[in-house]
Amino acid sequence: MTKYRFIAMDLDDTLLTDELTVSDKTREAMARALAQGVRLTIATGRMFASAQRIAKQVGLNVPIITYQGSLVRNLLDEQVLYERSVPMETVRILYDYTREHGLHLQTYIDDQLYSFDGGEKLIGYAKQSGIPYKIEPDLDRLPEGRHTKLVIIDDPQKLDDLIPVLRPLLGDGVHMTKSKANYLEFLHPEGTKGHALRFLAGHFGIPMEETIAIGDAWNDREMIEAAGLGVAMANAVPALREIADYVTLSNNDDGVAHVLEKFVLNA
């Protein structure tokens, strides 16, 4: 049986319960795995500052994967190890399109959330992630810096209909994915969780065959496919469960702890 030495876990709806907490059982399983020398990290669409707080709370001390894989950064000294950003010409095309069609768009620059629109969509998004934000309607008035990730927030069906429209408009310079049904996200083509997982495994000198990736949403697809063992939560979107090597329990039933116990602690 393969000895798994590196596990990457999504946050929302995976490691976190619906109440945005980590259960005692999962914390205990993680602590036992860490004590055995297993490397645990989180792989999330969240910004670094938001993910950092949770990672420290559960006792992690390794680089973490944030912004869907666009930024890998040390948890303790915050050194950037891997970074990809959306090309500025792509940002402008997306900005112009959303202004013309009345869509809610926001972007991240230097780990700060900027929104071109106010309103309930922004408030709900910021509350869910627990992060502050700034509103600036004019793209040219934003501070200089790299756009790590852009997000359109809207009804799920509207976003699904938007994807085939934006794909030819934006071309190969952007990767599109959905972290939640109503979040359509835009990243560098190499800013996926799969790219970041491969990078970190190489950084640690661990073969991909000895990695596990656990997630629930379509933005976890690349790391589920890249890992030696790709695990989908019971509450994952159907398409992710179909391609996973294993389906664990739900995020409210200690699904991450179940994976650690089955494939690491009791293997």
Q: What is the pLDDT of residues 49-89, one digit of tens each?
A: 999 999 999 999 899 999 999 999 999 899 999 999 999 99
Going by pLDDT thresholds of 50, 70 and 90, the confidence category of residue 211 is: very high
Same domain, 127 and 202: no
**What pLDDT does 173 receive?**
86
Domain membership flag for residue 95: yes
Domain membership flag for residue 180: yes
CB 35 within 8 A of CB 267: no
CA 16 from centroid of its chain's CA atoms: 13
The number of distinct structural domains making up the chain is: 2
Domain membership flag for residue 1: no
Same domain, 202 and 259: yes
Each residue's pLDDT tens digit, 146-183: 999 999 999 999 999 999 999 999 998 899 999 888 99
Residue 120 tokens, joined? 């309930």
Domain membership flag for residue 110: yes
β 71-73/64-66 pair status = antiparallel
Domain membership flag for residue 156: yes
Q: Percent of the chain beyond pLDDT 70?
A: 100
Buried (b) or exposed (e) across 17-38, using 16+ Cβ within 10 A?
beeeebbeebbebbeebbeeeb
Same domain, 32 and 111: no
Last residue of a domain, one of 145, 168, 187: 187
Domain membership flag for residue 223: yes
Same domain, 182 and 197: no
Domain membership flag for residue 67: yes
Same domain, 122 and 176: yes
Same domain, 13 and 78: yes
Domain membership flag for residue 45: yes
Q: List the domain range (segments joined by +) for residue 28.
A: 6-83+191-265
**What pLDDT does 127 receive?**
86
Last residue of a domain, one of 187, 202, 219: 187
- Which CATH number goes with the domain that contains 201? 3.40.50.1000
